Structure 1
Amino acid sequence: MYRTKVGVDLAKNIIQVCTLNGKKVTSNVEMSVDEFSAWLAKSNPLTVAFEACSTSNYWYQQAIKAGHDARLISAKLVKAVRQNQKTDKNDALAIAQTLFLPEVSFINGKSIEQQQLQSIQRLRELAIKSQNASQKQIVSLLLELNIRLPNTQDGILRGLEGVLEDGEINLSDTFRATLSVAKVQLENMISAIREYDKYLEQSIQSLPDCKNEVV
């Protein structure tokens, strides 16, 4: 670590930057995103810590790119170190102070490639949840009309096709049209998951070191 240590609180609209030389606070100021980006670029190498949050990996990457020693700190540790009420200034100070603790377990930062791979995985997981919820809802709603569909993906699609084509089933034109929309929506979800699978595999093949990011 460098002698100059910085704690950064990444708030929604501003960034609070607390700088310590040794253990002495030399500044604790607000910066805009552009100001902080420029500050990182022009500062001499230092150790900068961020509390882990949605934007911390981005700034972790930017700090490293600017030649700094970047660290990610868990929110739980920051809370334990903070001595006064929760404010942006106190949070930034607490983040900086964690750097002086012995045997701190820092959070591993992610590269932009790892972040993108993880994003593909999360979008895939969301699509799977949406597909499962849609299937269960369709089966449940039709069961209320005493229309029974197999509880499998292919069975539901075939069953819906049969219901839509069966003029003997007492369904209004409006409800048939609604079921048709639900069927198309389900088919689109299934197609989207196949696409996510393809892109996920492509990402893994191009980034073998990121394979462990996929669970």
Structure 2
Amino acid sequence: QQELQSLVRMHQLSVKHKVAYGNQLCSLLLEFNIKLSPTDTGLNSAIQSILEDAENGFSAIFRDALHTAWHQYLKSIELVKHYEQSVARASRASEACKNLMKIEGVGPTNAVNLYIALGCCELGVFKKARDAAACIGLTPIQHSSGGKVRLGSIGKNIRNSSLRANLVAGAMSAVNQAVKRDSRTKKDEWIKGLVERRGKRCAAVALANKTVRTAFSLLRNGTEYKAELLAA
């Protein structure tokens, strides 16, 4: 579990470096009034155009520095991919993570993150699955007074916002897949009904909440996840 946590930390740091390099390159080019798309393709197109245009007025020193910065950015992209592959291999080597990846919207990264947050070393902290979901920030905040219970939006000030963001992103992918195809499981029907009533965003958060509770139960009881299929 400590090795998995270290892999996740290295991956997160590499992502931060990649984003920082990209943002700096975009900002520097904007100071020269060069507007570009913030995507990798847009940034690559703009920099290649600058380096190939010999009549744009940029000095050889600046071109060399820009070329070096661009290659540093490309190296950061490769580093992110390398750590993603490492996390994927580690998740496939763990029986608990392989079981978690059977849950809708849970890939290698989310499986490892859930195992770290809810694994054997942490389960004793939470008495119920709801407590685990609340700790991650996937339950509504209570505004109770005078015996009246009022539920607001999900909390924003949480310890591990990246875990929640990844879970919601994975859940959104599962929601998009569920609404495009015919229902295969009871969870598909539940997702479609929730999308009709509240929209995709609320459905994704609700699914992420359910994912955490399901993962908590699987890890605590040592059971295997099996989607409940619809009757033929």
TM-score (norm 1): 0.45
- Higher-Rg structure is 1
Higher helix share: 2
Higher strand share: 1
Structure with the bigger RCO (C-alpha within 8 Å, sep 6+) is 2
TM-score (norm 2): 0.42
